[in-house]
Amino acid sequence: MAVVALGAWGALWLLGGSPYGHMLLHGASRLQTAAAFPISFALVFVAGWTLMTLAMMLPTSLPLILMFHRMVSERPARPWLLTLLIAAYLAVWAACGVLLLFLNSIVAIGIASLPSLAAGPVINSAIILTIAGLYQFSSLKFACLDKCRSPMAFLITRWRGGNESFQALRIGAEHGLYCVGCCWSLMLLMFLVSAGSLAWMLLLGVVMAAEKNLSWGRRLSAPLGLMFLLGAAALLITKMTA
C-alpha cells in the first residue's frame, strides 16, 4: 500500500511538470482544452484524478483495507478479493471526480457567459470555498465520518456468505461512497490549485486522514468550514475593493 501511494505521488509530480499537467484538474486552459479535445481531456483527467485518489484517499482508508486483508487472509483468493475491493473504491472516486469536474465546468461557463461578472475566476473560487465550508457543518458529512471511523463494524455488517467476489466489490463501493460523503468537498478544493501543487495535496490528504481516522478528527470540521467561508468572503471583498 505504501509503494502504491508513493508511486502515485511520484507520477503526479512527473505529470504536473509535463505539457499536459494543466489537464489533470483545472489548469488555466482547462475549458478550452476540454472543448477542443474532449476525449483526450476526459482520459487525462480521469487518469490524473485516479492518481490523486491513490495518493490522497487510499491512505485514509488503510484501516479498513488492512482489516479486510486480515479477514480474508485464510482464503486462497485473498489477493483477488483485495484487488476487487480497492478497484471498486477507486471507481466510486473516479465517478465522483467526473461529476465534480462537470459541475464545476458548468458553473465556470455560466459565470464566463455573464459580461457583468468580469471577475469570473474569483467568483468561481468563492463559490467552491463556500460550498466546501458549508458542507463541513452538514449532518451528512458527520454521518459518513462515523461510518469511516468504524471499519470493523463496517466489515462485519457487510461480509456475509455467498459470492465473495461480489461482496468485496460491494464493500469497496459502499466504503467509497461513505468516503466520498465525508471528503468530496475537500477534494473539490483541488479545483482551486494546480494538481501539481503537491504541498497542497499533501496538506489536504493529511487533513482528510485526520478527520476520518483520529479520535479528535471530528473537531477539525467546524474550524475548517469557518476558514473556507472566511476565505470566500475575503476573495469577494478583495476583488470588490481592488
User: pTM for the full model?
Assistant: 0.85
77-132 residue pLDDT tens: 899 999 999 999 999 999 998 888 788 778 777 766 765 555 567 887 888 899 99
For residue 53, pLDDT over 60 is answered with yes
b/e string for 36-73 if b means 16 or more Cβ within 10 A?
eeeeebeebbebbbbbbbbbbbbbbbbbbbeebeebbe
The pLDDT, as a whole number, for residue 120 is 64
Q: Please state, for a pLDDT cut of 70, what percent of the chain lies above it.
A: 83
HSE of 134 in the Cβ direction (CA atoms, 13 Å)?
7
Cα separation, 127 vs 123, in Å, equals 6
The pLDDT, as a whole number, for residue 31 is 52
Contact 186, 221 (CB under 8 A): no
Residues 6+ apart with CB under 8 A from 51: 8, 11, 12, 15
Taken in order 207, 43, 93, 75, the sign of the CA dihedral is negative
* 42 or 150: which leads in pLDDT: 150
The pLDDT, as a whole number, for residue 30 is 54
Contact 217, 150 (CB under 8 A): no
161-208 residue pLDDT tens: 778 999 999 999 999 999 999 999 898 888 776 544 778 888 888 999
pLDDT grade for 28, boundaries at 50, 70 and 90: very low
Mean pLDDT for the chain overall: 83
For residue 163, which of 151, 175, 171 has the smallest C-alpha distance?
171
